[in-house]
Amino acid sequence: MKTMRLLVIGLLYYALAFATPIPNSLSPEYEKLLEDPAPLYEQPPTDLELFLDALGWQESGNRYHITNRYGYMGRYQFGRATLRALGYDVTRSEFLSSPELQEEAMLKLLTHNKDNMQYYISRYAGKKVHGVHVTESGMLAAAHLVGPGRVKEFLRSGHITRDGNNVPLTSYMRMFAGYDIGSLLFVEDSNSFAAVAP
């Protein structure tokens, strides 16, 4: 009996010693920040910054310079049609070489999508709809994936749209749920966008 107990303990120790670590969902930059608490006391990241970091990590590994096989560009994988709709007339090279422009475009898109879906945010945020807990940040992330119209369609009918990589909008609604970005306003100032607290 004692031998059996020792064998089980030994096997558990071996399994734990060589177990594959569970990957962290945050990017390496935020992992470093969380390892060193000093910067957190100086200026903690806002929920919007954490949301953008998580979304950028999912879209591109937070790389500003890449283009995927479908032609989507940068940290947040923008398409040319979306950039044109937001008023940007830039070349691929100009867009990929400017992190500032990419961040500005993302805030502008969030503003547009939030305005576009405001009725649905007010009506559905905080409720469980078609098996998904709906939040404002989850809706905005899903709108970035497939467009605000498809998010509204899901809320009305339960129809789940997938992107070109077969990612369902519901995965973004779940993955990016619960970031407190509703208290942040997106304001236009001299043709540039910034997030500010009310």
Structural domains in the chain? 46-196 (1.10.530)
DSSP annotation of 115: H
Q: Give the whole-angstrom CA distance, residue 51 versus residue 184.
A: 12
Say which amino acid occupies 70: Y
Q: What's the pLDDT tens digit per position in 103-127?
A: 999 999 999 999 999 999 999 999 9
pLDDT of amino acid 147? 95
141-178 pLDDT, tens digit per residue, is 999 999 999 999 999 999 999 998 899 999 999 999 99
List the end-to-end C-alpha distance of the chain, in Å, as a whole number: 67
Alpha carbons 118 and 9: distance in angstroms, whole number: 56
160: helix, coil or strand?
coil
Query: How would you classify residue 162: left for phi > 0, otherwise alpha for psi between -120 and 50, otherwise beta?
Result: beta
Enter the DSSP assignment of 185.
E
The crossing angle, in degrees rounded to 10, of helices 47-60 and 136-146 is: 30
